Copies of this chain bind each other. A is one copy, B any other.
Amino acid sequence: MRIGELAQAAGTTAKTLRFYEDQGLLLPAARTASGYRDYGPETLARLDFIHRGQAAALTLAQIRQILQIRDSGTAPCEHVRELLGMRLAEVDEQIAELGRLRETIAQLRAAAEDVEPETCQAGAVCVYL
């Protein structure tokens, strides 16, 4: 399987696959006599895993960690559970923070409704913010 074919099958680009190899997410591929990368079908499963990790908002660095544990012959389950727990806590924190931001913005916008431009003071740039 050549790189373009694999990229299409995985829904990504050849450029990205080379990048992943460079970043240690894909193992260095076998090469044909002429130097083309030659992938086995198992690489597609690996790319699917990477995509699932991204769907769970893991960073490429975190996904690489899991992959390296797997590549070393150990089952990465423990680590995956840990990462998912961490991500869950982070996402909860992000949601809470965005909720606070939403309140701030909503109040500012409410205050900015139905006010006349004449009340604007040049020194303050804008009284509504």
Point out residues on A near B: beta carbons under 8 Å.
Answer: 42, 45-46, 49, 52-53, 55-57, 66-67, 70, 75-78, 80-81, 84-85, 87-88, 91-92, 94-95, 98-99, 101-102, 104-106, 108-109, 112-113, 115, 117, 120, 122-126, 128-129
A53's closest neighbor in chain B, by CB?
B129
* Copies of this chain per assembly: 2
Whether A81 and B45, one on each chain, are in contact in the complex, defined by CB atoms closer than 8 angstroms, is no
A59 to B129, CA, bound (A): 14
A77 touches B123 (CB 8 A): no
**Contact present for B92 and A95 (CB under 8 Å):** no
Identify 13 residue pairs between A and B in the complex whose beta-carbon atoms are under 8 Å apart, listed by A's number. A42-B123, A45-B125, A55-B104, A56-B129, A66-B126, A67-B125, A76-B126, A80-B129, A81-B113, A84-B129, A85-B109, A88-B106, A91-B101
When chains A and B are docked, how far (Å) is the Cα of A14 from the Cα of B113? Answer: 36
Q: Please determine whether A120 and B75 come into contact, CB atoms closer than 8 angstroms.
A: yes
Report the bound CA distance from A123 to B106 in whole Å.
Answer: 49
